[in-house]
Amino acid sequence: MTSVVIGKTEKEAIDDSPQPSASGMAASAIDGAAATALRSVLQRVQVAADRCSRQSDRIRVVAVSKTKPVSLIRQVYDVGHRCFGENYVQEFVEKAPQLPEDIEWHFIGNLQSNKVKLLLTGVPNLAMVETVDDEKIANQLNRVVGNIGRKPLKVFVQVNTSGEESKFGVEPAGCVSLVKHVTSSCPNLEFCGLMTIGMPDYTSTPENFKTLASCRSEVCKAIGITEDQCELSMGMSGDFELAIEMGSTNVRIGSTIFGARDYSKKQ
């Protein structure tokens, strides 16, 4: 699932890229750092996968590019990466049309019902919404996907595994019910797995990941699928290696690749 080709393709992409002008040296240095950081992340994914006898190509790396400029995303794209994630609908629909159509976009932020149409029409190559957390948003996504006639949209159900009021997601006890709703009442959605955002405290994160894995077991039993058919999206910059060792198939890496966020333009 890892969306980067290492080796000849990557080298050719680097060799063929234009040399920066003097005025562009500062931006180029940042871009180069992002490409280098991506390679480091992929190596760490490989090592973590090896530790738990997993195949690294079964682990998807979502490069989270929120608040970052198109030029920086393009540099990471140019070294072979194809899977990117965005959190804010307005920013997303402004950036996506400026980038190649073969990008596999994931929406990983909280999604309001009144923004669903804008998101789906503004990003035709949207591959996944990772944050379905109630029936209302599932129904709206299903309705709009049907109205615009696009192929079924892949979704994860977001679970609030930490119990924090500041986090979105269905409570673990309600996870099976929401998944059943998606699979039985939303024909334009393709249920692919579960997603969570662990607590920043490293010592408590394993419990969040264990909770999500338990939810997967319950979901798979309830709807009659194998655990291999239900992905786990867990792990970010600070804990993705641990998440991989605990079964994550989808890690969302932002600042470790792109550097610190700039929220100065956000409300």
Q: What digits encode the pLDDT tens for the residues 42-81? A: 999 999 999 999 999 999 999 999 999 999 999 999 999 9
Residue 10 has pLDDT above 80, yes or no: no
Residue 27 has pLDDT above 60, yes or no: no
Strand partners, 86: 107
3-state secondary structure 232-258: EECCCCCCHHHHHHCCCCEEEECHHHH
The answer as to whether 27 is a domain residue is no
Residue 12 has pLDDT above 90, yes or no: no
Cα 121 from Cα 71, distance rounded (Å):
23
Region 215-232 average pLDDT: 98
The answer as to whether 13 is a domain residue is no
Mean residue pLDDT across the chain: 89
Higher pLDDT, 8 or 240: 240
List, for residues 114-165, the tens digit of each pLDDT value: 999 999 999 999 999 999 999 999 999 999 999 999 999 999 999 999 998 8
| Residue whose pair of structure tokens reads 């655990």 in the numeric block | 227
Find the domain containing 120 and state its range: 33-253
- Check residue 20 and report its DSSP letter: P
Strands (E), 3-145: 60-64, 83-86, 104-107, 126-132
The answer as to whether 7 is a domain residue is no
List, for residues 103-115, the tens digit of each pLDDT value: 999 999 999 999 9
The answer as to whether 43 is a domain residue is yes
Q: What is the pLDDT of residue 199?
A: 80
The answer as to whether 114 is a domain residue is yes
The answer as to whether 122 is a domain residue is yes
Q: What is the pLDDT of residue 266?
A: 56
The answer as to whether 85 is a domain residue is yes
CATH of the domain at 73: 3.20.20.10
From the DSSP assignment, how many helices (H) and strands (E) are in the chain?
A: 10, 8
CB-count burial class (<10 Å; 0-12, 13-18, 19+) for 51: exposed
pLDDT band at 203 (very low <50, low <70, confident <90, very high): low
Residue 41 has pLDDT above 50, yes or no: yes
The answer as to whether 241 is a domain residue is yes
> In total, how many domains does the chain have?
1
State pTM to two decimals: 0.87
Q: What is the pLDDT of residue 26?
A: 46
Residue 5 has pLDDT above 50, yes or no: no
List, for residues 250-265, the tens digit of each pLDDT value: 999 999 999 987 776 5
